[in-house]
Structure 1
């Protein structure tokens, strides 16, 4: 008799053990069934990852002109508002260039005045030359009469041959003077036409030479205003590298400004998790900074068009002899709620846990329409050149003479300058309030 045959009657004769095994098997079956039902009804509708990090716009502050740093008005961790000055450069060189441009404009206006004044002078020269023509014609008529009278008297010997030749010479001289006077009229008319080609059809303040000099004034005015570097958006200062007295060139990064009210999350899902993800699906996020007690609501705003390794600085070369398959990840952008960010601010680079509800799969996996609005914009630079038009108008009026009246175009520019300046300030304030209360969708 075998051992199994000897224990079988014992097991069969132990009803409690049989009941326990049956109960355990039932519990396992029920647990497996419950897990299957949960997986089918609930878990299959969610995708989650802890490979997610907060991202944001890191705006570099760079000067548009070179100069020496005179003052630094913001430091790391400081909050700055849009339009507030961050760094000021030495304006001495820019002001010298502006004064030179203003002097050149004044000179251009006076030279243009000379051109307009020459029109009257050259017109008077034409009248003078025409008077010379009339005088020469009168001299010719008188010389012709003298010559005819002497020719009539040559037969009786009353006029000598020498006197007759002298009368003929006077006639020839008068004809030469007439030709010279007529040439003088033609020359004067050409000079007037040449001068009028420089002035005809344009007012003094719209003369090309004046406009070119005015453009130089605006350029120098902008360079002077750009010695103060404003904050383009509301945000926090980070990575300040500029120091006092430092000579900086145009384009040098001095510091960065990070608008923390416009951050988003890049969740790197595995490639086999993407099949159910769609644009617009809701997401639930938690940050290691706050833990489970703070839960963010977000939506899928976009999906990457390639894996992270495909866009790496050194892409992987998989066509090798020794190859191991590695599951790739694709970044998925999650837009966050602005009010939640205001109540519980995040920082760039923080770790996040992301869970996406994929039950609604009617959306698109990739955007199918072009963007209709700017990704980001600022109005702090709009008002930089508003005072330039007023400065140009002042210089032109001071050098154009007592009878100067601005042209329609110049008057329109001067009238629009305060309005544009106010509109620029309003756009700056609007952009600042918008930055405080809304989140850019990425």
Structure 2
């Protein structure tokens, strides 16, 4: 055996020993790693089932109850005083509609009101005139009745004279001519009595007509003043409507916010209900967080929520409160809802929007915009 062969044997033996030691170390490391994994898994399971008191989602977006600015009257747009992204305060004028037609309508309504008020005054005066007519009619009736009495006396005298001359005519004491005259006088007296009675009836008819007119006139004004009669009230309502239409030619902001989606232009003719722009109330923003249905078991109204926005990152944390749950999942309210009754159905975990109200002070310090992405974590241990 040569020297080279003698030296190679120990070298191979040392290599094998090193391999065995490396394999032993590797097995020990694998066992240690496996133990660590098992411990971590146990710790995670214990934390998840015993100590985890929150649910989170990154499927959340900022929303707001936007104000739709519409025209309440028709007309041509005279001025537009705001533009998109402009911040306005409640009561600021956003646009002006030509108010000349509204002014004319107001003048007409005011004229109708004045006319109705004068008609009430005239009706009141008519009552006094009709009362006077009734008094005059009473005098006419008494005069006619006196004439009737006078005619009756005259008739009695004519009747007596006729009877006396009739007896004399039978004995031939008077001529036929005198007898005929007495008969004519009797007929005239009877006719005068009939005329007098007709005069009484006519005077009574006039009184009844005047009384009817008075009753009708009193029915219009009885229990009412000049400002409370139906005609005046109707005319007053038209004046108020015309005044309101005139005020509505100035379209004002109903709340503080930012102008968005302005579509109205100067010179455009708008109709009542036409959408002109939107107003976003940045101080009244909320978040709709879409949680999986499996996460909602312990989520309750009133629980505290911690949120972060992609706009500011993790450094800015918002605090909110769960204020409600949507009436249905997003797919239920989709334009074309899923038809799970078909044969090729695959179960998909649904998400339910949860409404979260944000803190107004934090919104002032770090403003958000509608549609921005948020991450929300609900603390389920704060359930009420």
Q: What TM-score bracket applies, with the shorter chain setting the length?
A: 0.7 to 0.9
Structure 2 matches for 1:132-147, cutoff 5 A?
A: 132-147=140-155
Query: How far apart are 1:23 and its partner, in Å?
Result: 3.8
Residue in structure 1 matching 2:109, options 87, 101, 105: 101
Q: CA deviation at 1:351?
A: 0.2
Dislocated runs of 4+, deviation >6 Å = 7-10, 12-15
Given the superposition, is the C-alpha separation of residues 287 and 167 from structure 1 closer, same or farther in structure 2, using an over 3 Å criterion? same
Distance 1:153 1:22, change over 3 A: closer
2:230 corresponds, among 208, 224, 229, to 208
2:243 is aligned, of 207, 215, 221, to 221
Q: Distance in 1 between matches of 2:22 and 2:292?
A: 54
Q: Does 1:36 align with 2:76?
A: no
Deviation at 1:39, TM superposition (A): 2.8
- Whether 1:176 aligns to 2:229 is no
**With CA pairs under 8 Å and 6+ residues apart, which has the higher RCO, 1 or 2?**
2
Residue aligning to 2:169: none
Please identify, of 163-172 and 209-218, the stretch whose mean Cα deviation from structure 2 is larger.
163-172
Residue 303 of structure 1: CA displacement?
Answer: 1.3
Aligned pair partner of 1:287 in 283, 289, 309: 309
> Are 1:302 and 2:324 matched, yes or no?
yes
Confirm or deny: 8 A CA contact 2:304 2:382 kept in the other structure. no
Provide structure 2 residue ranges, at least 5 long, that are not aligned to the other structure. 1-15, 166-173
SS at match of 1:205: coil
Tell whether 2:270 aligns with 1:248.
yes
Does the 8 A contact of 1:67 with 1:247 survive in 2? Answer: yes
- Tell me the secondary structure at the aligned position of residue 206 of structure 1: coil
Q: Name the SS for the 1:204 alignment partner.
A: coil
Preserved contact between residue 58 and residue 258 of structure 1 (Cα < 8 Å): yes
Shift of 1:85: 1.2
The alpha-carbon distance between structure 1 residues 120 and 320, as it changes in their structure 2 partners (threshold 3 A), is: same
Matches of 2:158 and 2:28, distance apart in 1: 167
Distance 1:275 1:78 in 2: 43
**Aligned twin of 2:3:** none
1:203 counterpart SS class: coil
Contact map agreement 2:301 2:322 (CA 8 A) in 1 = yes
Please state how far the C-alpha of 1:118 moved relative to its aligned partner.
0.6
Q: Normalization by structure 2: what TM-score? A: 0.87
For the residues of structure 2 that align with 1:174 and 1:205, how far apart are their CA atoms?
48
Q: Secondary structure at the match of 1:122?
A: helix
CA apart distance, 1:9: 12
Unpaired runs of 5+ in structure 1?
A: 1-6, 364-442
Does residue 236 of the first structure (1) align with residue 272 of the second (2)? Answer: no
Alpha-carbon deviation of 1:111?
1.4
Q: Is the 8 A contact 2:308 2:317 kept in 1?
A: yes
1:152 is displaced (CA, Å) by 2.7
Could you tell me the TM-score, scaled by structure 1's length? 0.76
Is residue 11–residue 17 contact of structure 1 (8 Å, CA) maintained in 2?
Answer: no
Q: Write the distance in 2 (CA, Å) between the matches of 1:150 and 1:319.
A: 116
Relative distance call for 1:326 and 1:214 in structure 2 (3 A) is same
Counterpart position of 1:192: 214
The answer for the alignment partner of 2:91 in structure 1 is 83
For 1:354, which of 365, 373, 376 is the aligned residue?
A: 376
- Residue 70 of structure 1 corresponds to 78
Shift of 1:17: 5.2
Q: 2:130 aligns with which of 109, 122, 125?
A: 122
- Mapped pair 1:160 → 2:182: yes
Give 1:276 deviation, angstroms. 2.1
1:334 maps to which of 346, 350, 356:
356
2:367 to 345, 348, 363: 345
Aligned partner of 2:13 in structure 1 is none
Matches of 2:239 and 2:47, distance apart in 1: 74
Q: What count of residue pairs does the alignment treat as equivalent?
A: 355
Aligned counterparts of 1:165 and 1:85: Cα–Cα separation in 2: 93
Q: In the TM superposition, what is the alpha-carbon distance from 1:324 to its structure 2 partner?
A: 2.4
Specify whether residues 164 and 266 from structure 1 end up closer, same or farther in structure 2 by C-alpha distance, changes over 3 A only.
same
> Retained in 2: the 8 A contact 1:11–1:18?
no
Q: CA deviation at 1:115?
A: 1.1
Alignment of 1:27 onto 2:50: no
113-122 vs 323-332, which deviates more?
323-332
Residue 41 of structure 1: how far off its partner (Å): 4.3
Shift, 1:82, TM fit: 1.0
- Kindly provide the CA deviation profile for residues 382-416 of structure 1, in whole angstroms up to 9, marking residues without a partner as x: xxxxxxxxxxxxxxxxxxxxxxxxxxxxxxxxxxx
